[in-house]
Structure 1
């Protein structure tokens, strides 16, 4: 099953970057990047330093994702630096074997260069090529840019987790559950 993603070059608004599968050598940079991104945005589940994944944790994740048929771990590299990553994680129970869960992190300085769009496009193409029928994701209700991007790729809002999280302003926010089904 697992069609291999080939590295692809992109140039958007004069930024050159490559989208490619994650490699074991990326683990340290990914650990540092995730920590930085968690401190730059409230769109993710974690605050900076929470649920830290160290280099060894990323090495394990990359190894597993490389070996498992329904997992995909991609990175975006600009100027020899990882600036974003995405994962599709399969569920290995028979009743859920048709779907994967998608997540993405992009360095704030790199927003607006199509990196999220290209990581998502590669992930959707991989899922379709590997007969994965459904991609699911969660997104903060106020992340309108991401919601619109997901909709352009055929994702639909499937549900709402009301008052799902508390942000730094002390207010409660809801999480949208979105999915894309490919028959």
Structure 2
């Protein structure tokens, strides 16, 4: 199997991206949406891709596994002047493709983009029990800035999240 390609999302990816989000929602409890809760359409996803491309401080990277999207990393920059230097990160990789260095490659590509785009602060949240995610983020230079107590309600249980960030020189 060839190495999956990491590239910027295109409007033509809308349907495949929606399919990826839906699979991730069913496959893991680490994403924000619960299975079946995501109600986006391909047209809405196409519009969202267009919006992200129009923002200098935002990007949406996808992992193309040879005709199927198998991962994504979105960086969504602040829209007000005081937050434009900062981008909120979301990431998801299908289980079948984890452990292959794709997460590392996504974050390396993200950091190169951020430096070119003038983004100084990368931030994300992660459930405190997501040990694989936390290990990846620490490896990529993110630090825990605090704990968001009971920030999520998953399967009837309140869960904590870490707020993590990385500052770029």
TM-score (norm 1): 0.87
Number of the residue aligned with 1:97 = 84
Instruction: Give per-residue Cα distances to partners, 1:73-114, cap 9 Å, x unaligned.
Output: 111011221111111101111111111111011112111112
> Partners in 2 of 1:162 and 1:151 — Cα distance?
20
**Cα offset for 1:167?**
2.4
Cα distance, 1:36 vs structure 2:
1.1
Distance in 2 (alpha carbons) for counterparts of 1:165 and 1:98: 27
In structure 1, stretches of 5+ residues that fail to align are 1-13
Q: Tell me the alpha carbon deviations over residues 17-75 of structure 1, each in whole angstroms, 9 at most, x when there is no partner.
A: 10001011100011111111101101111111213322111101111111110110111
Query: Which consecutive segments of 4 or more residues in structure 1 shift more than 6 A?
Result: none
**Quick one: distance in 2 between partners of 1:96 and 1:31?**
28
1:135 aligns with 2:122: yes
Q: How many residue pairs get matched?
A: 169
The alignment's TM-score, normalised by the length of structure 2, stands at: 0.94
| 1:13-24 alignment, distance < 5 Å | 16-24=3-11
Q: Is the 8 A contact 2:85 2:121 kept in 1?
A: yes
